[in-house]
Amino acid sequence: MMHARGGVFRRATKHRSRIHQLVPMLVFAGALATGGCRLMQSEADVTPSDQQFMLTAASVGTSEIELGKLASERGASADVRSFGQRMVAEHTRINAELSELADRKKVRLLKSMDPASRTLYDELAHMSGAAFDREYAVAQVHIHMMGNGLYKSEAQSGEDPDVKAFAERGVPVGTNHLQHAAQLLHGLRKASSQ
């Protein structure tokens, strides 16, 4: 059963799904594991904080590509499949731009998901139908909220002008992705309550 509260639908149950419990924790853990716990690269031409941004942004982007592929294959609704395809296309473009920047700045980016994102992927890979759609949309909202904070922080506080400019270009893209993810989730919840 769903209840409206402040224009956003909330579940009227004590037991939230495992994904709902995992996503915020995984997103935070992924950001820490990707950026904060890796050794900084001494040969890099940017500061440790700019390196951390680049490493984290690359990992989040890779996760978005892999999750988008999963959504485009497993999504029950055309909207989820379309959103997944859009995330693959846009995050592939963003990661290519970031990789080019990283090469110029001598920062070695990993081309794989961090362990927390892999756990999320594995959880979603075992779902199907409306449950997959809903949980993917929830994850997208949380991931883009975290990602937007990451890009905004770098855009405001970044030290290297090229890295800062990359982040500045990413802020409106991330804002747009978050808006579409929230609309997707709202639409799925509305459809399931009818």
Count of alpha carbons within 13 angstroms of residue 5, beta-carbon side: 5
Position of tokens 């997959």?
132
pLDDT tens-digit readout, 45-104? 999 999 999 999 999 999 999 999 999 999 999 999 999 999 999 999 999 999 999 999
Give yes or no for a contact between 68 and 85, defined as CB atoms under 8 angstroms apart: yes
Q: Specify the number of domains making up the chain.
A: 1
In a domain, 25, yes or no: yes
pLDDT number for residue 9: 35
pLDDT number for residue 24: 53
Mean pLDDT of 155-174: 97
Give yes or no for a contact between 137 and 67, defined as CB atoms under 8 angstroms apart: no
pLDDT number for residue 183: 97
The set of residues, in sequence order, having a beta carbon less than 8 Å from that of 122 and lying 6+ positions away, is none
**Alpha-helical runs (H) found in 106-128:** 115-125
pLDDT band, very low/low/confident/very high, at 192 (cuts 50, 70, 90): confident
Identify the CATH number of the domain in which residue 159 sits. Answer: 1.20.1260.10
pLDDT tens-digit readout, 9-51? 343 333 345 555 555 555 555 554 444 445 467 788 999 999 9
Position of tokens 């609309």?
183
C-alpha span between 37 and 139 (Å, rounded)? 23
In a domain, 175, yes or no: yes
pLDDT number for residue 187: 95
Name which of 69, 110, 97, 118 is nearest 163 in CA terms.
Answer: 97
pLDDT tens-digit readout, 123-135? 999 999 999 999 9
Per-residue b or e along 1-28, where b marks 16 or more CB atoms closer than 10 Å to that residue's CB: eeeeeeeebeeeeeeebebeebbeebbe
In a domain, 8, yes or no: no
Cα–Cα–Cα angle for 59, 67, 178, nearest 5°? 80
Q: Rounded to an integer, what is the distance from CA 91 to the centroid of its chain?
A: 10
Domain residues for the domain of 52 are 17-36+44-193
pLDDT number for residue 111: 84
In a domain, 2, yes or no: no
In a domain, 12, yes or no: no
